[in-house]
Structure 1
């Protein structure tokens, strides 16, 4: 079958490799000149490293070098992806620097129009354009005057560099991983760095009370704890207090609202090394619970906050999240409901659009593995090897899942694409649909130790061999 994949990030590369391995003819398109998605060199920002350890972020059948640090740099992870592309021989399947402008269904599948002016035909379309691909930058009033005065507004992924901040007054908007990473990196060269988070987030500490975060959150027991926070309230209360004490959050006025289990009610974020020390030392200022209401340029680039205070703002780093969309999917087709949530069974299969699946729309703490399992699910779906509920039952299930995520994550669930805290649970469901069995000894071990990508190598390998022989 001729398959077109849109996007050559983590999920797109997995889709290309898996679908090629089971016998399909795959062509993968990406607007960037390099593959890798968030790991493409054109999207690196200063201070970027993996949030996962390499052991939980690697693909199941392609280990990262053991000599690397636990949290590889952006450059290292792009080289890891390059070794994946080279090892499995999928470079020829990639059409980089080639954007898709429109995808239209046909009687035989899809017509995919490219920004080069040409079009290609495919029997099946896989959308893997990423849920972290299009920055959501606020449209602040006064932005034109700010720019006329020399002010710059950039998202971290828009090729932000140290030179952008050298000797400048920098304002970083947000408090997620990219916000704290960039604040730390830019503070080494900037005249000043001020962070403006509308709401503080709890930060996971790599090691707390002698326990690595992944040895708690990436276990089956950990998922049960985070999915039932009220039942384990005293435990999370103790973790909250330990986190506050370890980082000295009270002294610097950065205790977030709520408790540590709220980390599962948004996007889980690791504490950037040295960040709280930099705040304590005054290298980074934090104006918590504030937001920008206006930009100015009369007396140099400035940002006005909602309390009326004015900040010098030569460079504004908008670490304000992403917009999840598929603008190339021709109207009236849509996999999103009226609220903008993607209605996808298993976060892969839309209800009423034939010959279409999504890869990487099940983001979690183990996103590479989730994407890899998801693309294997797609291969099984194309082979007719899945056992699925009826379309009506699928719609009911998706609706219930979205409502539960919305309630649990207070709407911060990336248009329905975040499956936290059920990272392993989502994978379990997909494996069950495929009649794939994770060895009992592995499942039992995962209750009390972190789940490694290699735990799934045997199970996924068996599925690929079965699908390829079919």
Structure 2
């Protein structure tokens, strides 16, 4: 790739320039906060959402029975807005949709949010603007913007494997569905259901199917640990492991702080992790009765970060759910007894419905081929500075593309950092330095079609510290100390983020027509 423009080389920021126009793809957790934050610093934002509602992965069009957050309602929030007390302890999809819609519409005019609108193509023109072609209720449109923010996320679209024999299976009356196509779950009624996968979604669907289906089987290629909400260790909860600084260190997050070196200078770093990990693994085993169920994973507990689904292990215990571990689907088919799923060990499971809870693909196919080629490495990985900024494509950002339990807050902090970039409040290193330091983010492209999931590690509390520092703010020391053993509270970050945004120069100003010699074009298709 050529080393030409840095991502801020052609940002218009002088007082005679028109108002900065930003296109945001996606109206989920990340798109909502990106839109609000960039609007707050004076950008003119347009949000494109292909679903008919705000919510992204929580959209009613992608719902499945039992869909709920892994975080509780106190941690699955933005910093300055609590989830209402009417929401469930682990908010359901409808709770999250209402929360996101309220947050968006309080800060962004409804006219700038285009629902049921798909971005067909995003291309960068010779003058540095982004040409966005979209299709919605009013037909096709072509418009120009200064920045493009991809907030459609790592859960852009479900991945359904191309299993051999699917045509035969469906001709015999079988159905293959992604979880988001289940809706209220009517398709599972009195059906022989096979769920493929072992993630939270797979277990949610299986637990629900066990209450409605004639039979429920789960096909799990690899068993990983699932944390119960309470571990039975002096009140220790799931959130103490994934939402505290001490917990992050325990499950494998690497810290290079002086405190960490002091604590571990006489002991190899891995030893306390292994020992404490075994203690927690035994506690999880006892709580969920994994050994008795034959579901004890072979992996280290610190490599997992999934929460157990209520009722799942109970369904396995009473025989309503049967788990086929270390198996995969060899093919689908049909015989004289009807449709079936054949496993890798030759077992045949009669099945009316196969639910493919087999992960997601990251959608970047809206990028023009030349843009995608420049944005990715030869093996098909995005290079993102601070997990946000495309290193080799000016004015292209990705919000919410890193796995995390704190997705509303981490997306909010990423959006604030991006606002700092577009306003000039954040100084960037050279493109070559960013390229050397950037984490590769594998995505499915024509050059690497087999890639479907991100390889980036979860964003951790120390990452958030570093990003806040680049904005010139920090959490109080007392808050950081409290976060050692107590789960973080997004409200802890509200004041720091307010301060950071208040210090940024505003982009808000009158937008004269083509003041910089570039007409903003819009045409009906």
TM-score (norm 2): 0.83
Q: For 1:113, what is the secondary structure of its paired residue?
A: strand
The residue number in structure 2 matching 1:407 is none
1:109 counterpart = 2:149: no
The residue number in structure 1 matching 2:416 is 376
| CA deviation profile, 1:269-322 (whole Å, cap 9, x unmatched) | 100012111100001110111011111023311110011110111100000001
Distance in 2, Cα, partners of 1:131 & 1:312: 33
1:414 counterpart = 2:453: yes
Distance in 2, Cα, partners of 1:260 & 1:131: 24
The residue number in structure 2 matching 1:194 is 217
Q: Does the aligned pair in 1 maintain the 2:402–2:454 contact within 8 Å?
A: no
Distance in 2, Cα, partners of 1:249 & 1:13: 40
Shift of 1:466: 2.1
Instruction: Report which stretch shifted further, 157-166 or 115-124.
Output: 157-166
Distance in 2, Cα, partners of 1:431 & 1:273: 36
The residue number in structure 1 matching 2:278 is 237
Q: Does the aligned pair in 2 maintain the 1:59–1:372 contact within 8 Å?
A: yes
Match of 1:351 among 380, 383, 391: 391
The residue number in structure 2 matching 1:336 is 376
Instruction: Report which stretch shifted further, 236-245 or 80-89.
Output: 80-89
Please tell me the root mean square deviation across aligned C-alpha atoms, in Å. Answer: 1.9
Q: Number of residue pairs matched?
A: 456
Shift of 1:469: 4.4
1:76 counterpart = 2:114: no
Cα 1:282–1:90 shift into 2, 3 Å: farther
Distance in 2, Cα, partners of 1:108 & 1:469: 22
1:313 counterpart = 2:351: yes
The residue number in structure 2 matching 1:277 is 314
Q: For 1:118, what is the secondary structure of its paired residue?
A: strand
Distance in 2, Cα, partners of 1:260 & 1:56: 23
1:464 counterpart = 2:505: no
1:225 counterpart = 2:262: no
Q: Does the aligned pair in 2 maintain the 1:362–1:371 contact within 8 Å?
A: no
Give 1:46-61 correspondences, 5 Å limit.
Answer: 46-61=65-80
Q: For 2:48, what is the secondary structure of its paired residue?
A: strand
Q: Does the aligned pair in 2 maintain the 1:57–1:367 contact within 8 Å?
A: yes
Unaligned runs of 5+ in 1: 404-410
Q: For 1:119, what is the secondary structure of its paired residue?
A: strand
Cα 1:284–1:412 shift into 2, 3 Å: farther
Match of 1:433 among 456, 466, 470: 470
Q: For 2:504, what is the secondary structure of its paired residue?
A: helix
Distance in 1, Cα, partners of 2:197 & 2:77: 28
Shift of 1:391: 2.0
Distance in 2, Cα, partners of 1:347 & 1:20: 21
What stretches of structure 1 move > 3 A for 4+ residues in a row? Answer: none
Cα 1:159–1:20 shift into 2, 3 Å: farther
Distance in 1, Cα, partners of 2:441 & 2:116: 34
Shift of 1:177: 0.3
Instruction: Report which stretch shifted further, 92-101 or 67-76.
Output: 67-76
| CA deviation profile, 1:338-360 (whole Å, cap 9, x unmatched) | 34332101110111101111111
Distance in 1, Cα, partners of 2:363 & 2:380: 9
The residue number in structure 2 matching 1:261 is 302
Q: For 2:293, what is the secondary structure of its paired residue?
A: coil
Cα 1:326–1:367 shift into 2, 3 Å: same
Shift of 1:124: 0.8
Distance in 2, Cα, partners of 1:382 & 1:82: 25
Larger Rg: 1 or 2? 2
Give 1:63-102 correspondences, 5 Å limit.
Answer: 63-102=82-121
Unaligned runs of 5+ in 2: 1-19, 255-268, 443-449, 508-525
Distance in 2, Cα, partners of 1:284 & 1:150: 23
The residue number in structure 1 matching 2:263 is none
Distance in 2, Cα, partners of 1:91 & 1:243: 47
Give 1:144-159 correspondences, 5 Å limit.
Answer: 144-159=167-182
